[in-house]
Amino acid sequence: MSFGGYSGQAYSPAGDKGRFVLPPLFRKAVKDSSDGRVLCLMKHPKWNCLVGFGLSRKQELDAQLDREEELAARLGNEFDRDTRAMQLFGFQEMPFDDSGRFVMPDHLRTLANIDEGLYFQGGGRFFTLWNPEELAKMGEDWAGAKAACESFLAEAKGKSKGAGK
């Protein structure tokens, strides 16, 4: 099956033993992209969140590196291919089980201020994973994502209250 990109939104509370769950919508897309159960995560270069994708993006990153080097040469700008390659390919590969459970390394949690849960936002070639508090700090361009996140959080709080009865 061909990979169709990442779209949609979801929320996953932090589980036991520091595990998170890759929601079904994103789990299927990562499997399609990775030809298996391998999730790639890294810090977003501008936003205070993580970027997730499957292994198929490696080829795209190679092409991006070539384009950036070519553009720099055309413009007469310096380009440090090694440094840029480390930035693009500095992602962490992690397995997830059939239920989507994966353990996020502490350094990634720290980089994106991940705490009690993850909000997932599809972005086509990749998706972002947010601490809801960090997403709430984003500008008006993020109004739709913030509204979806607030709705998921309210639903999760309602479920946890119901479980405590």
Q: Locate 78 and state its tokens.
A: 């310096």
Q: What is the pLDDT of residue 118?
A: 94
Q: Are 6 and 84 in contact (CB under 8 A)?
A: no
Give Cβ neighbours of residue 22 (< 8 Å, ≥ 6 apart).
Answer: 12, 30, 39, 96, 100, 101, 102
Residue of higher predicted confidence among 61 and 11: 11
φ/ψ bin of 62: left (φ > 0), alpha (ψ from -120 to 50), beta (otherwise): alpha
74-78, 104-108, 126-130, 143-147: least confidently modelled range: 104-108
Residue of higher predicted confidence among 9 and 32: 9
Domains and CATH numbers, the chain: 9-163 (3.40.1550.20)
**Residues 72-97: tens digit of each pLDDT:** 999 999 999 999 898 888 899 999 99
Q: Are 42 and 91 in contact (CB under 8 A)?
A: yes
* CA–CA separation, 122 and 100 (whole Å): 17
Section 129-138 average pLDDT = 96
Q: What is the pLDDT of residue 108?
A: 92
User: Is residue 147 within a helix (H) or strand (E), and if so which, with residue range?
Assistant: helix 143-163
Q: What is the pLDDT of residue 162?
A: 60
Please give the mean pLDDT across all residues of the chain.
Answer: 89
User: Tokens 């353990």 belong to which residue?
Assistant: 103
pTM: 0.85
